[in-house]
Amino acid sequence: MTARRTHTVTLIPGDGIGPEVTKAVVEVLEAAGRQTGVAFAWHSFAAGAEAFAQSGSYIPRELYDSIASTRVALKGPVTTPVGGGFASINVTLRKEFELYANFRPVKNLPGLATRYPGLDLIIVRENMEDLYAGLEHVVVPGVVQALKIITEKGSTRIARFAFNYARKHGRKKVHAIHKANIMKLSDGLFLSCCRKVHEEFPEVAYHEHIVDNTCMQLVMNPYQYDILLTENLYGDILSDLCSAFVGGLGLVPGANLGDACAIFEAVHGSAPDIAGKNLANPTALLQSAVLMLRHLDESEMADRVQAALEAVYTDGRHLTGDVGGRAGTQEFADAVVAALEALPAAS
C-alpha cells in the first residue's frame, strides 16, 4: 500500500541489547506501515554509554534538538552510571521536556502462564517531582540530605491525567497511593489535590491506600485495583512489582507524556551480558511502540501490531528464552511480521 501518512520520529537505539530490540521493532513497524499506508522518517541518535564514548556526552545536543522538533521519540534501554557521574538519562530527558506523566499498562499476554491470569492494571506515575527532583546536599561530612518535592501543580496535573484517562477509556476506579500517615505535609498535599480533582469525575470511584499496604494487597489480590495513581518514587517501585505479575520487565511497555512531547520506552535495563547474542526479547519496546502509534492517532496500525504480537505468543513456537522459548531476537521479529501478513487486509 502506498504511504498516505509519514511520521517523523526520533529513534534512540540505546546500549547493550538496545540496538537489537530497536532494530526488531522498527522492522515490525515498517511492515505494519506498508499494510496501513503509514511511513516513518527515523532520526536516529545514540544516548548513554555509546554516546559518551563517541562524543563525551551521555545526551548529545543534537538529540535534544531532534526530540524538540519531532515531539515524539522511541527509546531503547540505555546505560547510565550508578552512583557518581551523570544523572539518570531517563530522568534528564523527562525534566528537559517536562514529561510529567509516566504511563505503564500492566496486562497479560496470551499463552503465558502467570499467577494472575487476565490482569489489567494501569500505573500513572508523577514523573517530575518527589525525590527524583535530585535535590541533594551534604549537611556535614557523613550526613546527606535529599529533598522530597511535592507541589500542588504537579500533583493536580497528574491526578487530572489519571482521571481523564479513566473517563476516556471506561476505567472504573482510581487508587491514590501515599504515605501520608508519616509524610503528612508532602503526601498530604498530594492526596488533597487528588481529592479535589476527583470531584470533577464523580463517575470514577476513588480510593486511597498506603504504599506499603498496597504492596501487600497487590501480591494478595491485584484484581482489586484498576488505576494506581502515584508519586514518583512509589510509582517506580510499584511498576517493577506489577511487571512481575505478567512475566517481567521484558514484556511491559512505558510512556513518558507531556503537553508538548512524548517518549516511549522499554522499562528494562540494557542487559550488556547478553548484548549481541540474539537473545533479547523485543516485546517491551514493541508494546511501547504500540502506545506510540496510539499517541500518533494510528489506532488501526496499533491494533494490527498488537494482534500480531499476541498471535505469536498464543502460538508459542517463536518466543525468546526469557519466556520459555528458544527463538532469538530476529526469529521473534520475523514471526511477528509473518503474523501481520496473516491478518486480514487493512482497511
Task: Please write the tens of the pLDDT for every residue from 215-274.
Answer: 999 999 999 999 999 999 999 999 999 999 999 999 999 999 999 999 999 989 899 999
Residue 49: pLDDT band with limits 50, 70, 90:
confident
Task: Judge whether 1-109+248-347 and 120-245 match in fold.
Answer: yes
Helices (H), the chain: 18-36, 49-55, 61-70, 89-96, 152-169, 186-198, 211-220, 232-245, 283-295, 299-315, 329-342
Look at the pTM and tell me if it is higher than 0.75. Answer: yes
**CA–CA separation, 69 vs 118, rounded Å?**
39
SS3 category, 74: strand
8 A C-beta contact, residue 250 and residue 281: yes
Residue 87: pLDDT band with limits 50, 70, 90:
low
Catalytic residue among 23, 95, 179, 196: 179
Specify the DSSP class assigned to residue 155: H
Catalytic residue among 132, 225, 234, 313: 132
Tell me if residue 236 is catalytic.
yes
Higher pLDDT, 239 or 345: 239
Alpha carbon distances (Å) from 75 to 21, 58, 125, 247: 10, 14, 19, 21
Q: Residue 57: its pLDDT value, please?
A: 85
DSSP for 50-62, please give it: HHHHHHS-SS-HH
Is 83 a residue whose pLDDT tops 60? no
Tell me if residue 297 is catalytic.
no
Residue 91: pLDDT band with limits 50, 70, 90:
confident
Higher pLDDT, 130 or 347: 130
**CA–CA separation, 21 vs 268, rounded Å?**
12
Q: Residue 107: its pLDDT value, please?
A: 97
Q: Which CATH number fits domain 1-109+248-347: 3.50.30.50, 3.40.718.10, 3.90.1010.20, 3.90.45.10?
A: 3.40.718.10
| Spatial CA neighbour of 125 closest among 238, 247, 261 | 238
**CA–CA separation, 28 vs 301, rounded Å?**
11
**CA–CA separation, 78 vs 236, rounded Å?**
17
| Spatial CA neighbour of 257 closest among 163, 127, 143 | 127
Q: Which CATH architecture has domain 120-245?
A: 3-Layer(aba) Sandwich (3.40)
Is 86 a residue whose pLDDT tops 70? no
| Spatial CA neighbour of 108 closest among 120, 100, 97, 99 | 120
Where exactly are the structural domains of the chain?
1-109+248-347, 120-245
| Spatial CA neighbour of 287 closest among 114, 124, 104, 45 | 104
Is 84 a residue whose pLDDT tops 70? no
- Phi, psi (rounded to 5 degrees) for 298: -105, 65
Burial of 276 (0-12, 13-18, 19+ CB in 10 A): exposed
Higher pLDDT, 307 or 15: 307
Amino acid identity of residue 286, one-letter, is L
- Beta-bridge partner residues of 327: 320
Mean pLDDT (the chain, rounded): 95
Q: What is the mean pLDDT of residues 70-74?
A: 98
Catalytic residue among 65, 212, 259, 297: 212
Catalytic residue among 236, 313, 322, 334: 236
**CA–CA separation, 261 vs 221, rounded Å?**
35
Tell me if residue 187 is catalytic.
no
Tell me if residue 65 is catalytic.
no
Q: Residue 81: its pLDDT value, please?
A: 62
Burial of 215 (0-12, 13-18, 19+ CB in 10 A): middle
Burial of 345 (0-12, 13-18, 19+ CB in 10 A): exposed
Is 35 a residue whose pLDDT tops 70? yes
